[in-house]
Amino acid sequence: MMATQKTQRLRGELRLDEPMERHTSWRAGGPARRLYIPADLDDLCLFLQQQAQDEPLLWVGLGSNLLVRDGGFPGTVLLMLGALTELEWLDTQLLRVGAGVTCAKVARTASRAGLTGVEFLAGIPGTMGGALAMNAGAFGGETWQHIVAVETVDRCGQRHVRTPDEYRVGYRSVQGAPDEWFVAGHLLLEKGEPKQAQERIRALLAQRGASQPVQQYSCGSVFRNPPGDHAARLIEVCGLKGRTLGGAQVSEKHANFIVNTGNATAADIETLLLQVQGTVEQQQGVRLETEVCIVGEPAGQAA
C-alpha cells in the first residue's frame, strides 16, 4: 500500500520502451526500457528516491552528444528537456539556469539583459545540464568559465549545492562527486550592451551555419580536438571526408561531424566512427578521443 501511495504522488510522465531516436539529434537508436519526464525538481527527487540503487540511469537533454545502440538502453532515461526549464535572476549579473534549458535560450536571455560572456552558447545544440557535464564550448568560450555554483541531485534524490573548486574541469571534461547529476547552474555574467551581444550571437550562428552541417542530423563534433591540432584536419588529410557506411556519412562540410543521411542505424554511425578513429591512428599516429557518449546494447540484445 505504501508503494502505491508513493507512486500516486509522482506528477511526471513515465513511458515504457520509448524509442530513443525521438530524443537524440542523430535520430537513431533503440528503445529505452523506461523514460521519465519529471514535472519539476521535487518530482525528480521523489522519482529517484523510489528507484533501485542498481538501476541504470541515463540523463538526457537534447540528446545532441549521445548515441544509443540499436538494442536500446536497459534502464531508465531521465529526460530533462521539457523539465527543469527555470531561468531565475539571483542578482543583476547572476543567472540560475535549470538543466533542461537550452543553451541557445541562455545566450538569448543574457544578451537581452545586456549581459555578455555566454554568446558562444547560442552555437551549442544542447541543454545546460549537458553543457555542465562536459564543459561544452564553442568559438573560444567554455561553460565553466562562468560558473560560480552548481546544484546537483544524487541517486537517493538528495540535493547538493557545490562550487567549481569541488570539480576537476578540463577541455570537454568535468569530474566531480560520483553518482551526482547537474540540475542547475549559477552563471556570473559580464555587463555589456544588448545590441552588441545580440550582433555577436548572430555572427556566431552565421559562422556555424557556414562551417557545420546544421541542416542534417548529427551529434555535433564527434571527436575532441587533440592538443595543438584539430580532429577535422586529421580526418580530412586521411581522405575520409564524405566516407559513407549505410546511412551514415562523414560530413562533406565538416569532417568532425558524422551525419545521418536519412536511414542510418546506430550501428552504421558507431562503425563509421570506429573506422575514422582507426584510420587516423594508423595514418597520423593520433588516437582521437570521442566527445559523444555511446550507451546501450547492440541490435539483437533486448533492452
Tell me which residues are annotated as active site.
172, 221, 291
Q: Angle at CA 179, nearest 5°, toward 178 and 183?
A: 110
SS3 19: strand
- The answer to whether the CB of 68 falls within 8 A of the CB of 32 is yes
Query: Which letter does DSSP use for residue 297 in this model?
Result: B
E strand or H helix at 187, and its extent? strand 180-188
Query: Which letter does DSSP use for residue 215 in this model?
Result: T
SS3 287: coil
Alpha-helical runs (H) found in the chain: 2-9, 41-49, 103-112, 128-134, 194-211, 231-237, 266-284
Alpha-carbon distance 118 to 287, whole Å?
Answer: 31
